[in-house]
Amino acid sequence: MAKHVEYSGRLRLHKFLSEPAELMAFKSAAPHFLHLQKKKYRKQRRTLRRYFADDSFRYLPRDNAPKKSIAKYWSYRHDLFSLIDQGNIHLTEELWYSVTPERVAKFTAAFIEACLPGATTILDVFCGGGGNVVHFAKVFQKVYGVELKLEHLYCTYRNAEAYGVADRVWLKHGDWLQLAARGRFERVHVDCVFASPPWGGIDYTKTQAYDLETQLQPAGLSQLLSSFLRISANVVLFLPKNSNLQQLSEITRSLLGPEAKCKVLYARENGRDKGLLCFWGEAFYNFDAASPANSGERLAARLQEAHDLYG
C-alpha cells in the first residue's frame, strides 16, 4: 500500500509497512538503535524501517548457498551460528566471511567474564553482524555495539533477537574514528572494550608478518588501541593469526609504559588457527585459569565448550 504523507514540509511517497507484525518488530527494536529517533538521522531510520518491513538479509534453512562467492562459508554456517537452522539468522554477504565463529565468541565472552567478575557492561566497537554481541549479551547485562554499516547493525539486532538477548543490546550507527574523535563513550560506564576490526580482506594471510599499523582498518593499532584505552583499561582485540608480535609488544609499551604487557591467546577451531585474542588490563594478565577460585562449574563448562581454542 502506498500513501502520500507530509514530511518535512514536502509531499513524499512513503511505503507503509503492510504487516502489523513487521511494524511491531520495528517499533520494539527502534529504541535499541541509539539516537536514530533524532530528526537528523531520519534517512537512516527510514532505511532501518524498510529492512524490518522486508525482513531483509534473513537466511532460511531451505536456502542453498545463496551465492557462489559465499559457498565456502555456507558450509561452515553451523560454526558461525549454531541456531542458523531455526531460520532467524540475518547476514549480509560481507558478514558471511567476517562474522566471528560462535565458539570463539563464546570463549571470548566466558574468558572476559571470568577475568572481570562483577562487570556489567561491554562495548563492541566493530560489531558487524553480532557474532560476538550475542554471546556478550548472554553474560553481561548491557552490550553496546558500534557499526559503520546500518545493514550490519540491523543484522546484529536481529541475531540478538534470535538468541533471545535483544533487550540487553544497544546499538550506535557510525564511524568509530569520528565517534572517538568526539569523545563518545568516554563518559559512559564501560567495563571492557572489545574490537574485531576489519583485517583488510582475505589476502591478509599473504604476508608473513601482518603489519598492525598499515594493514589493520580503519586505522593502525596504535590509534585504535589508544582510543579504546580512553574508555576502559580493559581492552580485548581479535587480530589476525599472523600478526607481528614484536610490533604488538612495541605498541603496547609505547602506549602503556616499558613494563606493560599484552596477553595473547591463539583462538583455534577444528585444529585451525582463527586469530589472536589480545588482552590489555591487569585483570587479564593476573587471571589464573588453574586456580580453584576460577574453576567454578559455569566457567569450567564454558571453557570446556571452547577447550581447543587455547594455544
Ligand X SMILES: C[S@@+](CC[C@H](N)C(=O)[O-])C[C@H]1O[C@@H](n2cnc3c(N)ncnc32)[C@H](O)[C@@H]1O
Judged by CB under 6 A, does residue 185 bind ligand X? no
Least distance (Å) from ligand X to the CB of residue 93?
12
Judged by CB under 6 A, does residue 121 bind ligand X? no
Residue 236's SS3 state is strand
Angle between helices 42-54 and 20-29 (to 10 degrees): 130
Number of residues that bind ligand X (CB under 6 A): 21
Q: Which is nearer to ligand X, 17 or 275 (CB)?
A: 275
> DSSP class of residue 87?
T
The residue at minimum Cβ distance from ligand X is: 131
Would strands 235-239 and 263-269 be described as parallel, antiparallel, or unpaired? unpaired
Q: Which is nearer to ligand X, 131 or 281 (CB)?
A: 131
Judged by CB under 6 A, does residue 100 bind ligand X? yes
Least distance (Å) from ligand X to the CB of residue 27?
25
Judged by CB under 6 A, does residue 204 bind ligand X? no
Radius of gyration of the chain (CA): 20
Judged by CB under 6 A, does residue 227 bind ligand X? no
Judged by CB under 6 A, does residue 108 bind ligand X? no
Least distance (Å) from ligand X to the CB of residue 25?
21
Give the amino acid at 218. Answer: P
Judged by CB under 6 A, does residue 128 bind ligand X? yes
Taking the CA atoms of 72, 109, 276 and 159 in sequence, report the sign of the dihedral they define: positive
Q: Which is nearer to ligand X, 17 or 36 (CB)?
A: 36
Judged by CB under 6 A, does residue 200 bind ligand X? no
Question: Cα(132)–Cα(57) distance, rounded to whole angstroms?
Answer: 18
Judged by CB under 6 A, does residue 149 bind ligand X? yes
> DSSP class of residue 258?
T
256 CB neighbour count, 10 Å cutoff: 17
Question: What is the distance, to the nearest Å, from the Cα of residue 185 to the centroid of all Cα atoms in its chain?
Answer: 16
* Cβ partners under 8 Å of residue 197, min gap 6: 125, 126, 216, 217, 218, 224, 237
Verify cis geometry, omega within 30 degrees of 0, for the bond prior to 218.
Answer: yes
Answer for the pair 31, 63: CB distance below 8 angstroms, yes or no: no
Question: Cα(96)–Cα(117) distance, rounded to whole angstroms?
Answer: 32
Question: Cα(253)–Cα(238) distance, rounded to whole angstroms?
Answer: 19
Judged by CB under 6 A, does residue 147 bind ligand X? yes
Judged by CB under 6 A, does residue 184 bind ligand X? no
Least distance (Å) from ligand X to the CB of residue 231?
14
- Only one of the segments 11-19, 51-59, 127-135, 163-171 lies at the binding site for ligand X (rule: CB under 6 A); that segment is 127-135
Judged by CB under 6 A, does residue 146 bind ligand X? yes
Least distance (Å) from ligand X to the CB of residue 306?
15
| Contacting residue, 54, 63, 167, 175, with ligand X by CB under 6 A | 175
From the list 191, 195, 168, the residue with the least C-alpha distance to 180 is: 195
Least distance (Å) from ligand X to the CB of residue 13?
30
| Residues near ligand X (CB under 6 A) | 98-100, 126-132, 146-149, 152, 175-177, 196, 198, 218
